[in-house]
Amino acid sequence: MHFAELRNELLKEKNPEQAKIHQRFFKTGKGEYGEGDIFYGIKVPVVRKIARMFRHLSFKDLTVLLSSDVHEERLAAGFILVEQFSKGDERIKEKIFRFYLKNIKGINNWDLVDLTAPKIVGSYLLDKDKSILYKLALSENIWKRRIAILSTFAFIKLNHFDETLRIALMLINDKHDLIHKAVGWMLREIGKIDKEAETEFLIKYYKKMPRTMLRYAIEKFPEKERKKFLRGTI
């Protein structure tokens, strides 16, 4: 199979009206975070289904897809990498991890990050040196910063919160709303497993947090407690 065949399968599902909605939703206008991103208007489950048909594509083909201007082509490549990673041995996993970082420029919208980073970067680094995440968290590139915090989702699921909390603190003064949401989301995930750990972090830092970050973090708290945080009366 070849990337051109995958491209043809995606073209069969093209939906111009849905594409217009996606282009607004993913902020593709001039000066917005997704500027220039082209959409075919294909729903995620359909892209995932097509990606499974081409799960054995080579890195050469995946490189072409990840450099595409078409969002769904990059998304399909991401799904294929996740599939290959999940089925691979340690040698394959390392290759995919390194390939992902080499082609990280193509992981350049929030859904691409969220659907791939925890399952590739996070999963690979579970038992390894995690310094790359701190380097990504310091990047000027919003998507690298989002990859840094979202990758820790894999650690959270195994009750390991240290990296999430450290990176959350690094990003606490970030200027971008998409980072505020991502950090708040990961803090909320910690709270689902260990509310005390999340609360301890929040009590220390909630007054420094952007409002969106805090709102995401405390979304599952009882209303009375949530209001105390929002009023600054904890």
Residue 204 CB-density burial (10 A; 0-12 exposed, 13-18 middle, 19+ buried): exposed
Average pLDDT over residues 64-77: 97
2 pLDDT exceeds 90? no
Judge whether 60 and 91 are in contact, CB under 8 Å: no
Cα 156 to its chain centre, rounded Å, is 14
Band (39; pLDDT cuts 50, 70, 90):
very high
Per-residue pLDDT of 191-217, as tens digits, reads 999 999 999 999 999 999 999 999 999
228 pLDDT exceeds 80? yes
CA distances from 118 to 44, 101, 124 (A): 17, 13, 9
232 pLDDT exceeds 80? yes
The token pair that represents 58 in the structure block: 């080579």
Judge whether 172 and 208 are in contact, CB under 8 Å: yes
Per-residue pLDDT of 128-148, as tens digits, reads 999 999 999 999 999 999 999
Angle at 63 between CA 62 and CA 66, to 5 degrees: 85
Question: Per residue, what are the HEC states of 68-135?
Answer: CCEHHHHHHHHHHHHHHHHHCCHHHHHHHHHHHHHCHHHCCCHHHHHHHHHHHHHHHHCCCCCHHHHH
Q: What residues are paired with 70 via a beta bridge?
A: 38
Give residues with Cβ within 8 angstroms of 47, minimum separation 6.
10, 72, 75, 76, 79
Band (169; pLDDT cuts 50, 70, 90):
very high
